[in-house]
Amino acid sequence: MSLSRRIAALFRIKVTKALNRAEDPREVLDYSYEKQLEMLTKVNRGLADVATSRRRIELQMDQLTSSSGLLSTQAREAVAVGHEGLAREALTRRAAVTAQLADLEAQKRSVQADEEKLTVAAHRLKAKVEAFRTRKETIKATYTAAEAQSRINEAVSGISEEMGDVGMAMQRAEDRTTQLQARAGALDELLASGALEDATRPAGRDDIQEQLDQLTGGGEIEAELSRMRAALPPGSGKAES
Amino acid sequence: MITRILGEGQFDVDEDRLSELNVLDEALQAAIDSGQEAAFDTSLRALLDAARRFGTPLPETTLTGSELVLPAQDSTLEQVRALLGDEGLIPG
């Protein structure tokens, strides 16, 4: 059997289970509708979680952008007064900030993609649930249990498949959100230490210094220091003692 | 033939195109069996492009099951394998 038929068959197993749940097939309609409303609530909650995750990333990006500006200023000022060690520290930390910003930018894109997908999925599910509600009332009002069977099968198949699809999209988004939250937590700690903000503050814990070192390469910083020294007006500044 | 692309919705695909879809479907299956990520990505994209091209999207209010269900565009080989291996992965 082809791949796409096999996946379709897996979805149908779920439907069959749902349909076999009640003696009168019409009861299945109400049971399924209840599940649909629960699913809609879950999807909306999932969307809210993803939006919160995106806002947290944006907030961290704002913080890092302002840190980057501050560290650049510190580096320039440090070079001007001949305090090269501090300038190097400021540039090292700014390089770490830049690396984090690039990482956050990628995270933000992935969260936005999830948000868009879930929004579309939620919209479609809502339209189908509404269609199901109307269909359900028609079936219950018009048909006997025996007559209703095939109409119920079709409606329940359609909605169950949609719920399975949306449910899978939500799981994927949730998994990603959980991963991102863990990373955001680690970054919040780094931000709270002040190490990404101000070169005059000690990095404090060893693991923070280690992270800073890992995030930055040395070559670019030396090059930038030379550029800053070259940009000084002749005769200004003094050699570091 | 009603076809669902997971994450995108349902399409009505012309029966005449079924043999073309089957070829792409088999290529995807082969990539999964051999565990080749690159071949998986290429064949999944080819299969989904074909389904979209040969199909007409169904209205949002349509309630009907699909004969074919295709993996989502952003699925990984691992995710599709897991899906095939365990019906319990499908929620709802």
Q: pLDDT digits over B11-68, tens only? A: 999 999 999 999 999 999 999 999 999 999 999 999 999 999 999 999 999 999 999 9
**Looking at beta carbons, which residues of chain B come within 8 Å of A11?**
65-66, 69, 90
The whole-number average pLDDT for the span A94-116 is: 94
Q: Assess A4–B contact: CB distance below 8 Å, yes or no.
A: yes
Q: Can you say whether residue A235 is alpha, beta or left, with left for phi > 0 and alpha for psi between -120 and 50 degrees?
A: left
pLDDT one-digit tens code per residue, A125-160: 999 999 999 999 999 998 888 888 889 999 999 999
Q: Is residue A212 pLDDT above 80, yes or no?
A: no
Q: How many interchain CB pairs under 8 A, A with B?
A: 111
Q: Measured in whole angstroms, how far is the alpha carbon of residue A73 from the centre of its chain?
A: 32
Average pLDDT along chain B: 92
Q: H or E segment at B57? A: strand B55-57
Chain B contact probe: residue of A1, A7, A115, A139 with most B CBs at under 10 A = A7
Chain A contact probe: residue of B18, B66, B89 with most A CBs at under 10 A = B66
Q: Is residue A106 pLDDT above 70, yes or no?
A: yes
- Residue A168: which of B6, B28, B61 has the nearest Cβ? B6
Chain A contact probe: residue of B8, B19, B61 with most A CBs at under 10 A = B61
Q: Is residue A17 pLDDT above 60, yes or no?
A: yes
**Looking at beta carbons, which residues of chain B come within 8 Å of A154?**
63-65
| Nearest residue of A to residue B72, measured between CA atoms | A169
Look-up: residue for tokens 């565990």? Answer: B35
The residues with which B10 forms a beta bridge, in sequence order, are B4
**Over the range A56-82, which residues count as b (16 or more CB within 10 Å of their CB) and which as e?**
bbeebbebbeebbebbbebbeebbbeb
Banded model confidence at residue B87, pLDDT cuts 50, 70, 90: low
**Looking at beta carbons, which residues of chain B come within 8 Å of A43?**
none
Question: Is the distance from CB of A9 to CB of B65 less than 8 angstroms?
Answer: no
Q: Phi/psi at B5 (nearest 5 deg)?
A: -100, 120
**Looking at beta carbons, which residues of chain A come within 8 Å of B22?**
2
Q: Is residue A217 pLDDT above 60, yes or no?
A: no
DSSP code string of A88-126: HHHHHHHHHHHHHHHHHHHHHHHHHHHHHHHHHHHHHHH
pTM, 2 dp: 0.81
Q: Residues of A numbered 143-182 whose beta carbons fall under 8 angstroms of chain B's beta carbons: which are they?
A: 154-155, 157-161, 163-172
Question: Is the distance from CB of A195 to CB of A92 less than 8 angstroms?
Answer: no
d(CA A79, CA A71): 12
Q: H or E segment at B69? A: strand B68-70
Q: Phi/psi at A237 (nearest 5 deg)?
A: 70, 170
d(CA A155, CA A135): 8
**Looking at beta carbons, which residues of chain B come within 8 Å of A8?**
4, 65-69
Locate A186 and state its tokens: 């680690």
Pairing of strands B2-5, B9-13: antiparallel
Cβ pair A8:B4 closer than 8 A:
yes
Q: Phi/psi at A192 (nearest 5 deg)?
A: -65, -25
Q: Assess A135–B contact: CB distance below 8 Å, yes or no.
A: yes
